[in-house]
Amino acid sequence: MALKFAEDSVNLSEIGFLVADPSDLYRELFRRLLYGFGAKKVMEARDTQTARRLMIDRGVDFLICSADLPTLGALNPPGSGLAFVKSIRLDTKHPQRAIPMIITMGTARRVSVGQSRDSGVNFVLSKPVSPAVLYDRINWIARSPRPFWESKSYFGPDRRFREVDFTNTPKRRQSDTTKAESADV
């Protein structure tokens, strides 16, 4: 479902949100914030199995997932929520593989943000999340959707946030060189 918005605010009343977080406190916080923003359908999951089942059974339109979402009955290394998101993105038959996804984490270190980006999320938010930042990111996704890219190891929104002119920069890809340039080497 495409996000709909009025003149200057996003209309969240018909969007099905799933908040997947192991913390009761954070699930409650996100649920209350989303209801405050006008959402009417907010589902909650405390582990990957419940989240996966809700996504299939209830038709989720937007996922807010903790980076450390556990998998029941398994050793849960840091980033198991990222593995969950990536598994959805890379599953070509998953009905919600292209929905907006926000990852939340306690500490947003550069490497963690990079791993999140590479798993296919739209945004990374550092906990604690302020209402203004959450609403801003949801609004940003609704108003400025980025094109999706697909490769063997990635499916998700374009990871670049700005357009860069590479006209006068050195070409590094083999496909960028012409036969004449290749012959000189």
Evaluate the CA torsion angle 69, 102, 105, 43 in order and state its sign: negative
Whether residue 173 lies inside any domain: the answer is: no
Identify the residue whose tokens are 């556990």: 70
Calpha distance 2→4 (Å, rounded) = 6
pLDDT value of residue 2 = 56
Whether residue 139 lies inside any domain: the answer is: yes
Whether residue 97 lies inside any domain: the answer is: yes
Whether residue 60 lies inside any domain: the answer is: yes
Whether residue 180 lies inside any domain: the answer is: no
Domain range for 134: 11-161
The CATH number of the domain holding residue 30 is 3.40.50.2300
Whether residue 76 lies inside any domain: the answer is: yes
pLDDT averaged over consecutive 10-residue blocks of the chain (185 residues)?
A: 57 95 97 97 96 93 94 66 92 93 84 78 92 94 85 81 64 55 46
Whether residue 74 lies inside any domain: the answer is: yes
In the three-class reduction of DSSP (H, G, I as helix; E, B as strand; rest coil), residue 133 is classed as helix
Whether residue 70 lies inside any domain: the answer is: yes
pTM recorded for the entire structure: 0.78
The partner residues of 149 in beta bridges, in order of sequence, read 156
- What total of structural domains would you count in the chain? 1
pLDDT value of residue 169 = 73
